[in-house]
Amino acid sequence: MGNIKIMNENLANKIAAGEVVEKCASVVKELVENSIDALASQIRIDLVNGGLKEIKITDNGQGMEHEDALLSFQRHATSKLVREDDLFFIQTLGFRGEALPSIASVSEVDLVTCHNNIGTHIHIKGGKLEIEEPSNARKGTIMTVSNLFYNTPARLKYLKSEQYELSNTISFIEKLALSYPAIRFELTNNQKLLVKTTGSNDLLKTIHEIYGLNVSSHMLEVHGANDDYEMNGYICKPEVLKSNRNHMITIVNGRVVRNNDLNRAINDAYFRYKPDVKYPLVVLNFETDPTLIDVNIHPTKQDIKLSKTDELYQLIYETIETKLNAELLVPNALKEEAVVVELPKAMIEDKKIQEEVHDKVVEEKITEELEWNLFSQESTEEKLEIKEEKVEYKSVKDRLLNPDFKGLQLYVVGQILGTYIVCQNEQGLYLIDQHAAKERVNYELVENKFKNKEVLSVGTLIPITIELNASDYLKIKEQLLLLEELGFIIEEFGINTYTIKAHPSWIKEGYEEEIVRAIFDEIILLGDHFDRIRFNNKMIATIACKMSVRANTRLSREAMEEIIRELKECKNPYNCAHGRPTIVKFSTYDLERMFKRVMN
């Protein structure tokens, strides 16, 4: 008899569980996605010990008939694919028919579901049916999974701590809530509510419920479309940046995905507005024909293949860059605490209600301030002046909703620490980093010369000689043609040595060798991953940095005014070439609050 045998179904399910069910969040993902496919409008997730002990999903979806409930635990049983062609038109989150049997094979599962008048109760332990009976007639499904991996110790030992498992689950539910703002989500752990959304079908409001006001008040709505893709959602201002890519949330046809092409396009659109080590927070929905994507490449279905990626990259890049270019991006130095005044418009739809709320808040501030001053020794006249001053502030606040940076009149007051230019106007106080500002000016100056091909070479009085090791010498040799196009005249000089006999005219006098070495270092660093567009941007940024006035440099008033004038003429006056802010603002209200002239 041969050695090859067909494994039993329970063993096959346990093996499949290793691919589909990796951790507690994997179980939650599969069960919640089933609830969404069942058209639930309310989904509640109750965890015990982060899901290590118990996971309970309750929804108000369509539920299942008795026969369907039993069949759902059979491998490859699904209601979402009927014909082979359906695989190319997938509109649901689940379709493989592997999740439920895999989960049931490595845990205890209790199912209560009802579609019409009679409910069904099923209990399965380790893949074996133990209870099958009628239940109450509550429409929807309650699925409880306990003792995950109790019968597969090799998998059990790889589960992490309660906090780690809980963190993964919360992160996934937050992303799913942003994907489906019309669904009400609740997540609890040990009866403590951790995530709650209202199902308002308002994406900005859902962002507010997940991330809070400091994020939602700095989000920008975007829309874009081409022949194949439609894109909409929200992107953050550059002052709301994260240290990892986890908050770049991309949703394709209702499915949260992790895709390098999408992330790269989003990150590239921000590269002028942020440092390389920071990443934007975005929530972007993409709608496309199902035939242009393939979700059947990974068991978790979180990675997908996209067609026409070049056109999609262009759509994302241009939509985000256009929106950022059109916005005022001067960050406030202090966070707003008067949260009601800054509520997103989506939170208060009626304009009249907005005005009433705004007036009420201002009145409360005035009342609080007057009450505070009752304990001081100010005269009644001084108290009335405070009220008038506060009303004045309200009118100024209203005028500042959408100021244009290029239209602002900034009056130079002076310089502090030899580094920051101090400006003011009727709206408040501005601090400008003189090096960052000049770097932005120089960056756009050099960039324009490149675009217009105004690159002239200037001979060096004494040739610059740079000696390298053998490998670095060869990397530079591969890019000699590019360096010649940039305006350098470079010749080989001895063993592993180059001599620079001419350089572009825009290199600042006295910085020639420093800039050449910096350009060589960048080429060597990129190595096999050399990208000409990226290199040009980094090279121009490096040159701009070296050409700019340094910190701890005393400037005359005329020099400071010239920097401000040049900065205001830049396409992007808000960030230096490396993404740091050039200017921050202390509003009049910020200053008054710091000095307790207003008490809120």
* Sequence ranges of the domains in the chain: 9-196, 203-325, 345-402, 413-590
The pLDDT tens digits of the residues spanning 181-205 come to 999 999 999 999 999 999 999 999 9
Task: Determine phi and psi for 242, rounding to 5 degrees.
Answer: -120, 165
Cβ–Cβ under 8 Å, residues 361 and 353: no
Q: How many angstroms separate the CA atoms of 259 and 282, rounded?
A: 14
**HEC assignment per residue over 359-390:** HHHHHHHHHHHHHHHCCCCCCHHHHHHHHHHH
Residue 231, pLDDT score: 94
Q: Which CATH architecture has domain 203-325?
A: 2-Layer Sandwich (3.30)
For 217, the token pair is: 């008040």
Residue type, 421: I
SS3 content of the chain, % helix, strand, coil (to 5): 40, 25, 35
- Which one of 3.30.1370.100, 3.40.50.2000, 3.40.920.10, 3.60.130.10 gives the CATH number of domain 413-590? 3.30.1370.100
Q: What is the DSSP string of 237-263?
A: -TTSEESSGGGEEEEETTEEE--HHHH
Q: How many angstroms separate the CA atoms of 476 and 483, rounded?
A: 9
Cβ–Cβ under 8 Å, residues 249 and 282: yes
Residue 469, pLDDT score: 87
The residues of the chain scoring below 70 in pLDDT are 1-20, 75-97, 295-302, 333-408, 452-455, 506, 508, 527-534, 599-600
Residue 19, pLDDT score: 53
For 260, the token pair is: 């390098």
Residue 10, pLDDT score: 58
Superfamily grouping for domain 9-196? Histidine kinase-like ATPase, C-terminal domain (3.30.565.10)
Classify residue 278 as exposed, middle or buried by CB count within 10 Å of its CB (0-12, 13-18, 19+).
Answer: middle
For 542, the token pair is: 């490096």
